[in-house]
Homo-oligomer: A and B are copies of this chain.
Amino acid sequence: MENNCFNMTPLGPDAHNTLGTVCIFGTGDFGRSLGLRLLQAGYSVVFGSRNPQNSSLLPKGAQVLSHLEAAQTSRIIFIAVHRENYEFLSAFSQELSGKVLVDISNNLRKNQYPESNAEYLAKLLPQANVVKAFNTVSAWALQSGSLDASRQVFVCGDNCESKQMVMDSARSLGLTALDQGSLLAAKELENYPLQLFPLWRLPMYIAMGLTAAFFIYCVLTEIVYTFVTEGKDHSFMIVVSIANRVFPIVSLIMLALCYLPGVIAAILQLYNGTKYKRFPDWLDKWMLCRKQLGLVALALAFLHVLYSLVIPIRYYVSHHRYIYTVSQLKDNKSLMFDNSVAWRNDSFYSLGILGFGLYVLLGITSLPSVSNMVNWREFRFVQSKLGHITLLLCTAHTLVYDWNAFLYASRYRWYLPPANVLSLIVPCIVLVLKLILITPCVDRVITRIRQGWERKSAHAPHDTSGQPLAL
């Protein structure tokens, strides 16, 4: 929808309207896109190019000059050039001294060079004020004016005034500028666009690991076992039945895993008798990726729901039913209706549905735009209170399914307990611990600790602002 506003005809440099002149070295994608946007925002734009004549693709309204001439037109110069070509800039060290050089370059892989491109540029041109910025914004995003890719411009540099100039220009393009400190941060900024879901790695690995493990476990205890013992080939079950056994198990365990660290942290605080003791690193890391853990678990729960709902239209199932009906009719048994079975079966579904419903709610509230609108208390209410209720419902759902499986020897194939039983261990531990933690007596202590009270010194030093710590 945006576009109509951004793809506005470039206005050409009409003096009375310009926000000032900006120079861009390099006429590549990014240079051109940036130029277009700057023109639209009311700057007049001058490109510096080796071959000014060959400028077919440049946005109309922009001037093209030699680097030398271009450099003189403006205080601020965007370096839309590959690092390999930085050397040639040192030729203009005079003209560039005192200018604000914006290094927007990216590398092809992390830590490609010992020093960041920006620092390298700063070394080449010591008199210039190098600012690292715009490298996290894509040419495409600038061109289409779409909000589809990130609009955050991370800026760093050693000269404060230069940084401000760059941040202002970013804001005048409708982007969000974030000051990231000195040029030391350049390396981080150059690595940022190259990273691939760092916070999602761990949860994904956990998910894959658990899935693989339980998949093998189930194939063994169900497919292989039936084949060996009864000689029946149920291999086709791998595709749906086993999948629908494994996904919910992993989902439940991961849901539990994303509330476990909170419990551990609370216990640690109780043990330390203060909240001013750092948590071990592994716990901090764990707590930072709770959201991702939960969302992966939600995805698996979603698959579980779909897999369960297709059951009645599966060939295997309808065939099974048919056979069953026939056999029943043959030895015309009159099938009795068992009320308690109906109760358990229905509450099994009901618990699952309610659990999943809350689960989806949690997922929605973890959307950035939603969580930005709720205040801290509301956020914690949803993520903590509702979260634990979700865990409770899902665990109950699994318990009801076959709560007593572990009792029957027949269910132990090759002495292995049924997978569902294994899946219940972690969730139950979390729930029991949580239950203990919310008992009034324990809860009172934790609350006081979180308000800054320390066991040694009876009343808190005047050093907390009543801000809750997220657990």
Contact = CB atoms under 8 A, between A and B. Distances in A.
Given A371-B148, A371-B149, A375-B195, A465 B105 contact: yes
Interface string A316-331: 1011011101101100
B181 A8 contact: yes
Interface string A227-256: 000000101110111010000000000000
Contact of A150 (B42, B138, B376): B376
Nearest to A337: B319
A280 interface: no
A349 B374 CA distance: 37
Contacts of A181: 8, 11, 17, 39-42
Greatest chain B CB density within 10 A among A5, A85, A319 is at A5
Size bracket, chain A contacts: 35 or more
A470 interface: yes
B26 A343 contact: no
Contact of A30 (B30, B178, B369, B464): B464
Interface in A326-356: 326, 328-329, 335, 337, 339, 341-343, 345-347, 349-350, 353-354, 356
Interface stretch (A90-98, A306-314, A389-397, A436-444): A306-314
A28 interface: yes
Interface stretch (A119-127, A186-194, A403-411, A422-430): A186-194
A315 interface: yes
Contacts of A215: none
A318 B320 CA distance: 12
A114 interface: no
B314 A349 contact: yes
Contact of A329 (B51, B312, B326): B326
Contacts of A371: 147-150
A288 to B, nearest CB: 6
A193 B376 contact: yes
Interface string A126-156: 0000000000101111001011111110100
A349 B310 contact: yes
Interface in A450-470: 451-452, 460-470
A310 B41 contact: no
Nearest to A320: B337
A1 B373 contact: yes
A350 B239 contact: yes
A220 interface: no
A159 interface: yes
A50 interface: yes
Given A136-B375, A373-B1, A375-B193, A303 B463 contact: no
A445 interface: no
A29 interface: yes
Contacts of A347: 239
A158 interface: yes
Q: Which of A105, A328, A373 has the most CB of B within 10 A?
A: A373
B315 A312 contact: no
Given A181-B42, A463-B49, A467-B29, A323 B335 contact: yes
Given A3-B288, A371-B148, A378-B196, A345 B357 contact: no
Interface string A172-198: 101010111110110011011111111
Nearest to A356: B306
Given A41-B181, A193-B377, A311-B313, 8 more contacts: A84-B462, A140-B376, A148-B366, A149-B375, A150-B375, A239-B346, A315-B341, A323-B335
